[in-house]
Structure 1
Amino acid sequence: MTDEAVHGQETDGGRWRVHVHDDDVHSYPGVAYVLHEVCGLPRERGLALADAVSRNGGAPVAVCDTAAEAERAAGEIQLLGLRATVTGPE
């Protein structure tokens, strides 16, 4: 899993993206914690992504090479209470 999407870089059509969606329950620090635990992102980057999720209703948080890897990451995020989905190659 890479964090290309979270750094705003374009990815090729063969990559899978994990998106986190906004809700009215989780705080910015809570989202940052989940992204640190699952994606290995630093707290500051997690807080910035939490802000993007809140402002935009969702944000890509990881880019994976395979569907299985993306589904695993989305599942781990969901187990920690956030809504996450996977989008396939475009």
Structure 2
Amino acid sequence: MSDQQWAVVLHDDDVNSHTTVAFAVARAYGLPVERGFEMAHDVDTAGEGCLTWCTTREQAEALVADLQLWGLHVTLRSR
């Protein structure tokens, strides 16, 4: 079994634009904004998407909290 037990899940909403999602995700993960736009599109299409898996709940909670400050609908899910 993998050590990564906690998923950070981004949910589609009718409030945030692709641009807001892209910049928030890119900033939180240190990714290029283009990758943030790809992730925003994937979540818009599927309804939700796992952004990353974390080894500890604390790591996952910190990422969730950071993205929630941007107004994104993000949750934590255990494996």
TM-score, structure 2 normalization: 0.89
Following TM superposition, the consecutive aligned residue runs of length 4 or more in structure 1 with deviations greater than 6 angstroms are none
Instruction: State the 1:13 CA deviation.
Output: 5.9
Equivalent of residue 11 in structure 2, options 15, 21, 27:
21
Does 1:47 pair with 2:59? no
Partner of 2:21: 31
SS in 1 for 2:71: coil
SS in 2 for 1:24: coil
TM-score, structure 1 normalization: 0.79
Partner of 2:70: 80
Identity across matched positions, percent: 35
CA RMSD after TM alignment: 1.6
Gaps of 5+ in 1: 1-10
Instruction: Report if the CA contact (8 A) 2:11-2:74 is conserved.
Output: yes
1:21-61 per-residue CA deviation (whole Å, 9 max, x = no partner) reads 01111111110100011121211111111011101111111
Q: Distance in 2 between matches of 1:14 and 1:51?
A: 25
